[in-house]
Amino acid sequence: MRKRTLNRGLAGFWWLTLAFLYLPLAVVVLFSFNSVNSAAHFADVSLRWYHQLLGNAQILSAFRNSLILAIVSSVIALVIGCLIGYGMYRHRHRRLGWLIVLIYLPIVLPDIVFGISEMAFFVQINRATGLLEPGLGTMIIAHVTFQIPFVALIVYSRFVGLDPTLFEAAKDLYASPFKRALHFLIPTLKPALISAFFLSFTLSIDDFVISFFTAGPESATLPIYIWGAIKKGVTPEINAIASLMIGAVLLAALVSLLFNRPRRR
């Protein structure tokens, strides 16, 4: 009897927490359809702000920057991270403590320290040599830096999950390392590579702090644009663009649910 009340209480708590988690997102989406520019008063349903989005050159360019940054950095991180993940696996019996520390560094470093140290470093290099002008280039460098560890760890754990004798078999089957990579490594890694790419992509799209400090005047991404608009207090279209981004995340969640359906045992 008491157990049932406990469970009912917990169920209530669960739904309350869920409301807490989704309330801020729901408010953003709701007010994106508001016909007046107010966060406190909902007047009428309209698509006004969505229409304005399409005419806002700054938002469109921020969107383009976000995409370029995410795609280019993810591709570079995928190549470099894969190599490191494979190296870590194949040489796991050696003393690679320094490598592990190096790989965990971008993960444990607080965002703000990460962003500021890169920004300070890039600024000084730029003053001395003219290289590394703040812009998409420096942002790509920064993003690749925090993506590499995730790719490396995903690839490494995929290798660890494989039967070690497979490597011997592949060695016997395919003479050249190139063929071995083409016919054995890349096909077996494919799921890991796909999830590593999507994780990198998401991390890049999602990042604000590190982008903010390494960005140049022309390379604002969507989160940076939104930040600037909020700070200036000019927010009419922000609800609309934010709603579109929330929609994209919900879509991604749906897709991941469909792909990772629990298998029947």
Partner 1 sequence: MVESSLTASRRRAVVGETRHLLFSVTPGAAWITVFLVLPSLYLMAVAFMTNGPYGLPEMPLSLDAFRQLAGFGFLGWSPGNAYTLLRSLWQTFVSTALVVIVAYPLAYYITTCREKWRPLMLLAVVVPSWTNQVIRTFGWMNLLAPGTPLSDLAESLGLIGPHMGLYPSDFAVTLGLVYNFLPFMVLPLYAAFEKLDVAQVQAAQDLYASPVRAFWHAVFPQTLPGLLAGTVLVAIPAFGMYVIPELLGGGKSMMLGNLVARQFSGGSNWPLGAAGAILMLLATFVGLYAMRRIGRRLGGGEEVVI
19-58: which residues touch partner 1 (CB under 8 A)?
20-25, 27-28, 31, 39-41
**Smallest distance from the beta carbon of 55 to partner 1, in angstroms?**
21
Nearest to 72 by CA among 146, 140, 132: 140
**Smallest distance from the beta carbon of 201 to partner 1, in angstroms?**
12
Residues 199 and 41: their CA atoms lie apart, in Å, by 38
Encoded one letter per residue, x for contact with partner 1 by CB under 8 A and - for no contact, window 226-255 reads xx--x----x--xx--x--xx--xx-xx--
Among 1, 4, 5, 10, binds partner 1 (CB under 8 A): 10
Instruction: Count the alpha carbons within 13 Å of 48 in the hemisphere toward its beta carbon.
Output: 11
Q: Are 157 and 150 contacting, i.e. CB atoms less than 8 angstroms apart?
A: no
Residues 103 and 212: their CA atoms lie apart, in Å, by 23
Phi and psi at 164, nearest 5°, equal -60, -25
Among 18, 45, 160, 255, binds partner 1 (CB under 8 A): 18
**Smallest distance from the beta carbon of 240 to partner 1, in angstroms?**
12
**Smallest distance from the beta carbon of 83 to partner 1, in angstroms?**
5
User: Looking only at residues 105 through 144 of this chain, which bind partner 1 when binding is defined by CB under 8 A?
Assistant: 105-114, 116-122, 124, 141-142, 144
Q: Are 214 and 115 contacting, i.e. CB atoms less than 8 angstroms apart?
A: yes
Determine, following the binding rule CB under 8 A, whether residue 70 of this chain makes contact with partner 1: no
97 burial (CB, 10 Å; 0-12 / 13-18 / 19+) is exposed
Q: Are 76 and 140 contacting, i.e. CB atoms less than 8 angstroms apart?
A: yes
**Smallest distance from the beta carbon of 233 to partner 1, in angstroms?**
11
User: Looking only at residues 151 through 210 of this chain, which bind partner 1 when binding is defined by CB under 8 A?
Assistant: 152, 202, 205-206, 208-209
